[in-house]
Structure formats: C-alpha cells, structure tokens
Amino acid sequence: MFTFLLFYLLIIPVCVLLHEAGHGLGVILRSNAQAHVYLGPLADNQENIKIGRLHFHIRWSYSGFCTWSEELVHSQKVAALAGGPIMSLLLAGLASILLPFVDGDLRNFVAGIIVFNGMMFLFTAIPMTYPKWFRSYSGRPSDGLQLLRIWRDMK
C-alpha cells in the first residue's frame, strides 16, 4: 500500500515533470529561447527554480506543460515537441534496464515506472486531439499531432 501511495503521490508527478523537461531541453538545445517547464497549471504558477535557460514552475499536479519565449523555426519546434515523448521513452527504457536487478515491492515500483512512462509516450506521441476526459489537456493537440502538422507544413 505504501508503495502505491508513493508511486501515485511522487513518481507520477516527477515523471510528468521530466517529460516536460524533455520538451524544455529540446528548446534550449536547438534555439536561444528560454523554456518554461510547468508542473501544474500555466496560470498562477510562480517560477520556483531556474537552471540556465530552463525555468521551472512547480505545483504538485498530474499535468504539465512547456512553453518557450520566442517563435521557433520548424526544426526547432520538432526538437521541442519530440523532447517530451523521447524523455518518457528514455525513462521507460532506463527502468527496464534496472528491472532485472530489483525484487519485491521495488520491482513492482520499477515496473510501474515502465508502464506509466510507456503509456505517457504512447498518449503523447500518437497524433490526436485530447478528449474531454483528459481534463487539463482537453481539446489540445498531442505532441504527435503537432509534429505531424509541422511535417505537413514542411512539404
């Protein structure tokens, strides 16, 4: 029970934050823009931490966003948009490497990290407009849909 609570209250928000930080890394690695990484709502979310051009606005939540300070060209947007799903896939992969070396509750914990990040990768990489039941993402395009639109514009 403790493992489940720890996972639900700590690991899920941290994984969401890292997914959004992946977007931010894509921004700062491919442009001169500032990246603002949000855990929680965009509105009324004060900056807590700044690391170089990455600004973190953290309020405990299960949703996150990333914005950037200037207009990006197509290749920079691709890096920014792909950074989140790539980070989720990387986290799932790293947890998969760790899985054979852990037992008991910790094994279930690591398996949960694999499943959660794998699902986050799929739900963000698949091109779609999020339905109402996605709550804070309702009506927004997924990373995959935004990437598909950029790819179509580049043709």
Give the chain's domain count. Answer: 1
Residue 88 phi, psi (nearest 5): -65, -40
The residues pairing with 55 across neighbouring beta strands, listed in sequence order, are 36, 50
Question: Which residue range is the domain that position 149 belongs to?
Answer: 2-30+74-154
Residue 45 domain flag:
no
- Let me know if residue 39 belongs to a domain: no
The answer to whether residue 91 is domain-embedded is yes
Which whole number is the average pLDDT over 126-130?
A: 98
Q: Is 106 a member of any domain?
A: yes
SS3 of residue 84 by DSSP: helix
Whether 96 is in a domain gets the answer yes
Residue 44 domain-assigned (yes or no): no
pLDDT in tens, 27-64: 999 999 999 999 999 998 999 999 999 999 999 999 99
Answer whether residue 66 is part of any domain. no
Q: Give a yes or no: residue 112 inside a domain.
A: yes
Range 129-146 average pLDDT: 97
The model's pTM: 0.95
Residue 131 contacts residue 138 (beta carbons within 8 Å): yes
